[in-house]
Amino acid sequence: MKLILASASERRQELLKRITSDFDIIVSDFDEEKVSFQGSCGEYVTKLAKGKAENVANRIGNDAIVIGCDTIVSFKEHVLGKPRNELEAFSMLRLLSGSIHQVYSGVAVIDTKTKNVKIDYVCTDVKFSSISDEEIKSYIATGEPMDKAGAYGIQGFGGVFVEEITGDYYNVVGLPLNKLNKMLKEMGVNL
């Protein structure tokens, strides 16, 4: 059975390669704007992940396992997506400075043959050190924050701001490997 990652994210592709090299990539064109935030981060990310996985599953044959994933940053019940510009990135990082926030990743796994669907999410607490405006500006100048939820990448330059995490590190990067592996096993897929 073919394993398909429904994501263009290089970080998710790199992480999936840590548990298997035998997968294909088919990028989902699911319109994330169709899903509105209703107050539950876990519900929100699982709907997004499921939408991405279903979008790809509906375009392929009946002998594949499709993995969809979405990651958001939440601070005091507010969702921080990818910044639209440098000013928004600055505002997000200033908000996160010296505080604890949550990173949620929703995961959806679809067996196109049996139509079995598993969805779940992981939440990790991340504590940032206090960071100066100059540090934020220097980080933004690297370009790294612009394509990441919450305007930082723990696996890159942004990792220097992270004082502590409670939970799954790989969730913060964008693909909770332990959760994904358990879900695949539940569907009879052993990597």
* pLDDT of amino acid 127: 98
Residues 6+ apart with CB under 8 A from 90: 133, 136, 137, 140
Distance between CA atoms of residues 184 and 179, nearest Å: 9
Give the tens place of pLDDT for each residue, 116-163: 999 999 999 999 999 999 999 999 999 999 989 999 999 999 999 999
Nearest to 77 by CA among 95, 94, 89, 93: 95
* pLDDT of amino acid 95: 96
Active centre residues (catalytic): 70
* pLDDT of amino acid 81: 86
Tally the C-alpha atoms within 13 A of residue 169's C-alpha that lie toward its C-beta.
8
Give the tens place of pLDDT for each residue, 82-117: 899 999 999 999 999 999 999 999 999 999 999 999
Set out the domains of the chain in order of their start, with CATH numbers: 2-186 (3.90.950.10)
Question: How many other CB atoms are found less than 10 A from the CB of residue 84?
Answer: 9
Place of tokens 């960071």: 131
Give the tens place of pLDDT for each residue, 20-68: 999 999 999 999 889 999 989 999 999 999 999 999 999 997 889 999 9
pTM of the model: 0.93
